[in-house]
Amino acid sequence: MLRIENLHVRAGNRDILRGVNLSIDIGQVHAIMGPNGSGKSTLARVLAGHPEYAVTGGTVAYRGQDLLAMDPEMRAREGVFMAFQYPVEIPGVNNAYFLKSALNALRKHRGEEELDAMDFMTLVRDRMKWLDMDETLLNRAVNEGFSGGEKKRNEIFQMAVLEPALAILDETDSGLDIDALRIVARGVNAMRGPDRAILLVTHYQRLLNYIVPDVVHVLTDGRIVRSGGKELALELEEKGYVWLEQAV
């Protein structure tokens, strides 16, 4: 589903990714772990198409298409979803309106009929239950005045409504207390399936207790230095990233 080859990325005049190789098959959950500043979030944001990064080398194929040639909105419509590490507050834009328009933009792109208000609400109520969300959040402006945890939950809720083919979760666990983490993980696990790939970007192993990955990668200094099964995360937790940095 996703094949990243020798990806080099620069922000400003700093090389952040220095030859990333990564392949994710449909149906799989991969986790990328790494210390602060290793380039994990950059990788997530580059895949979503953030304009502040310059790709200086390499390729990214998504379902056989050149992902890097697509605008961010086209990636979204083609089924790529990134849950933001820092979800943006958008005052004045109603959450329900925003989500309905986003969903219908995707459906329109796929040649499907737009959902009417009734069907949309049925879907939304169902997904809100997954995430234990208060329905009043729908009538507020997107993320405005949300607590850190509410914002993260709202990201996963959006994912659950938009049903992407490739979901990239950028440090969704950061800033969550243990109860919120469980709820978010429940939402993500509900989304696991044979038609979807999920890429978890995280600093801590903690999240992986709840969302068990098929493959774990370790990113340090802009390169993937180790890949393995879920045990790799436990080993990292025990020995720290220094262990790997020394090993390289």
Q: Does 9 bind another protein (CB under 8 A)?
A: no
Whether the CB-CB separation of 215 and 31 falls below 8 Å is answered with yes
The interface mask with another protein, positions 189-218, x = CB under 8 A, is ------------------------------
- By CB under 8 A, which span of 93-101, 126-134, 181-189, 196-204 interacts with another protein? 93-101
Q: Does 67 bind another protein (CB under 8 A)?
A: no
3 state SS for the chain = CEEEEEEEEEECCEEEEEEEEEEECCCCEEEEECCCCCCHHHHHHHHHCCCCCEEEEEEEEECCEEHHHCCHHHHHHCCEEEECCCCCCEEEEEHHHHHHHHHHHHHHHCCCCCCCHHHHHHHHHHHHHHCCCCHHHHHCEECCCCCHHHHHHHHHHHHHHHCCCEEEEECCCCCCCHHHHHHHHHHHHHHCCCCCEEEEEECCCHHHHHCCCCEEEEEECCEEEEEECCHHHHHHHHHCHHHHHHHC
Whether the CB-CB separation of 202 and 168 falls below 8 Å is answered with no
Per rule CB under 8 A, count of chain residues that contact another protein: 29
Q: Please identify, using beta-carbon distances, which residue of 10 and 77 lies nearer to another protein.
A: 77
Residue 73 CB, nearest distance to another protein (Å)? 5
From 25, 56, 90, 134, residue interacting with another protein (rule: CB under 8 A): 90
Give, rounded to a whole angstrom, the gap between the first and last alpha carbons of the chain: 29
Site for another protein in 19-38 (CB under 8 A): none
Q: Does 126 bind another protein (CB under 8 A)?
A: no
Label the pairing between strands 215-220 and 197-202.
unpaired
Q: Does 65 bind another protein (CB under 8 A)?
A: no
Q: Does 50 bind another protein (CB under 8 A)?
A: yes
From 92, 177, 178, 231, residue interacting with another protein (rule: CB under 8 A): 92
Q: Does 105 bind another protein (CB under 8 A)?
A: yes
Site for another protein in 127-146 (CB under 8 A): 141
Q: Does 95 bind another protein (CB under 8 A)?
A: no
Place of tokens 């995707």: 106
Place of tokens 């994912």: 159
From 49, 187, 213, 222, residue interacting with another protein (rule: CB under 8 A): 49
Q: Does 162 bind another protein (CB under 8 A)?
A: yes
Q: Please identify, using beta-carbon distances, which residue of 102 and 121 lies nearer to another protein.
A: 102
Q: Does 220 bind another protein (CB under 8 A)?
A: no
Task: Give residues in contact with another protein (CB under 8 A).
Answer: 48-51, 71-73, 75-77, 81-82, 84, 87-93, 98, 101-102, 105-106, 109, 141, 158, 162
